[in-house]
Structure 1
Amino acid sequence: MRLAGKRALITAAANGIGRATVEAFIREGAGVIATDIDPGVMEAWGDFGPGGRALRLDVMDPAAIDDVARQVGPVDVLFNCAGTVQNGALLDCTDREWQFSFDLNVTAMFRMIRAFLPGMIAAGGGAIVNMASVASSLKGVADRCAYGASKAAVIGLTKSIATDYVRHNVRCNAVCPGTVETPSLRARVEALARARGTDLDAALGAFRARQPMGRLGTADEIAEAVVYLASDAAAFVTGSTLVIDGGFIN
């Protein structure tokens, strides 16, 4: 029960890493506010226990963020999981794709933190965990220009908040996964296989082959790292980038 007594808000909680983190937080005793843009999926969550609920939230809508912050009040933990992966090198990237990557991966995160940080300060502290990536932000990865640049910005944002609010007992860290088996990855691999006219298994095999461990990460493995950073066990950890990549950047 590493999160007993804590209230946590998680974005992109319907699938993949977000969903696995909701489940892990509940097991560890947290009251969870699970948010996602998909209201149908969120309705299926059911009872989260004391203080928990499911809410629809479009993190691209500043007014919606402020409204949710008013509805739920202060939280002890904020996990910014929402994001997008834009494929392509610089010459493949349009202005619109570049802007969307930064709007969702960085600006939405900035607004979420801005909405919930005052409550943490007033309560005497809190923990913020941001979703970054090893791809291009920590290691150059082909065809990830906009994605890598936006995730590098997440790391900069994380370190800025950690420095500015450490005296308020607010910790801010980032998780940097390698390639993780999620519905989002599966959809991207399927699209890639169709575009190249290749077999799906072969396309997935290429992703596995670049992992030194010979396998993809799991959403549960990333969720466990988020639990750690959100818990009091990480009380002396702030401004860090926790790499969970199966040795990808070694």
Structure 2
Amino acid sequence: MNDHCRKVLVMASSKGLGLAIAKRLAKNRSEVVICGRNKAALDQAVGDLQKIEGCAGAHGIIADLSRRSDVDMLLQRTLELLGSIDCLVVNSGHMPHGTIEDLSDDDWDHSYETLLMSAVRVSRAAAAAMKASGRGGDIVYVTSGGVHEATGHLMLSNVMRAGIAVLAKHLADTLAGSGVRVNVVAPGYFDTGRVHKRIEALMVDEGLNRDAAIKRVANTNPLGRIGTADELAELVGFIVGDRARYLNGTTIVIDGGGSRLVM
């Protein structure tokens, strides 16, 4: 991959973890496509990417991952812009909190389309393009630590993202012969959207200041803090790099040691 400009698509990437990953992958002569639902945020993110030294180009596509037509359009438009694709990062937004009693059929249907089926559809199209190029490629799914250790208030996310982990394992088997590697990154608490909302809720509900609310969120983490988006992006950068060519079919948890899993 080092002898040509790498072609990259990062989904749900106008802000947060997705944008941090896109910025990391924009280096080293990469041309990057990002997507999001908000045009102003997307335009700002594209501008930031274009300023990165080594970035070979950046493009933004308005897309709602809950809509099949938008997901189909996203990959088609990416191939029109880039000519091919070498690296796909499947990222998505957050789902509502709730228990089995709280969540409606509409909640489940929306989560199924947004998290699981968007991943299936874009992976199918990207895998075909990667195989056709003859250069192989990388697919990385950003899920959550809930694929290993379920948390009650994140039922929708846990169920759908566990399905993505299984999808990734199957694809790692079936695509390896064409040089396409497939891996999963499962983050814990990071300093982005969903965690910001939880911190703000603790400040309101319990009268905590921001530092105290952050400590409450991170109280089970041996490092005593939450992660930064750049730390996750560095892991993704390593996974798709030449030093990790033997890494395939693996789910890597990055949570500062917060989970209690042994393996």
Instruction: Note whether the superposition's TM-score is higher than 0.5.
Output: yes
Write the letter of the residue equivalent to 1:141. Answer: T
The CA distance in 2 between the partners of 1:144 and 1:13, in whole Å, is 21
The answer to whether the 8 Å contact 1:20/1:223 transfers is: yes
Asked if 1:107 corresponds to 2:120, the answer is no
Give the deviation of 1:130 after TM superposition.
Answer: 0.5
Which residue in the other structure is 2:237 paired with? 227
Which residue in the other structure is 1:40 paired with? 40
The answer to whether the 8 Å contact 2:5/2:31 transfers is: yes
Give the deviation of 1:214 after TM superposition.
Answer: 0.5
The CA distance in 2 between the partners of 1:150 and 1:85, in whole Å, is 10
The CA distance in 1 between the partners of 2:191 and 2:40, in whole Å, is 23
**Of the candidates 129, 134, 142, which is equivalent to residue 145 of structure 2?**
134
* CA RMSD, Structure 1 to Structure 2 (Å): 2.2
SS at match of 2:61: strand
Asked if 1:96 corresponds to 2:106, the answer is yes
The answer to whether the 8 Å contact 1:10/1:22 transfers is: yes
Which residue in the other structure is 2:187 paired with? 177
Write the letter of the residue equivalent to 1:128. Answer: I
Which residue in the other structure is 2:7 paired with? 7
| TM-score, L = length of structure 2 | 0.86
Cα 1:212–1:142, aligned 2, differ >3 Å: closer, same or farther?
Answer: farther
Q: How does 1:1-250 map to 2 (within 5 A)?
A: 5-44=5-44, 45-46=46-47, 48=50, 49-73=55-79, 74-124=84-134, 125-135=136-146, 137-191=147-201, 194=204, 196=205, 198-199=207-208, 201=210, 202-250=212-260
SS at match of 1:92: coil
Identity of aligned residues (%): 27
Which deviates more from structure 2 when the two are superposed, residues 217-226 or residues 70-79? Answer: 70-79
| TM-score, L = length of structure 1 | 0.90
Give the deviation of 1:9 after TM superposition.
Answer: 0.4
Write the letter of the residue equivalent to 2:208. Answer: D
The answer to whether the 8 Å contact 2:9/2:85 transfers is: yes
The answer to whether the 8 Å contact 2:189/2:227 transfers is: yes
Give the deviation of 1:58 after TM superposition.
Answer: 1.7
Give unmatched runs, 5+ long, in structure 1. Answer: none
Give the deviation of 1:51 after TM superposition.
Answer: 4.1
The answer to whether the 8 Å contact 1:3/1:231 transfers is: no
The answer to whether the 8 Å contact 1:80/1:131 transfers is: yes
- Residue by residue, what CA displacement relative to the aligned partner does 1:154-213 show, whole Å, maximum 9, x if unpaired? 11111111111111111111100111111332134324654x454363443321112121
Which deviates more from structure 2 when the two are superposed, residues 138-147 or residues 116-125? Answer: 138-147
The answer to whether the 8 Å contact 2:238/2:244 transfers is: yes
Q: How many residues align?
A: 248
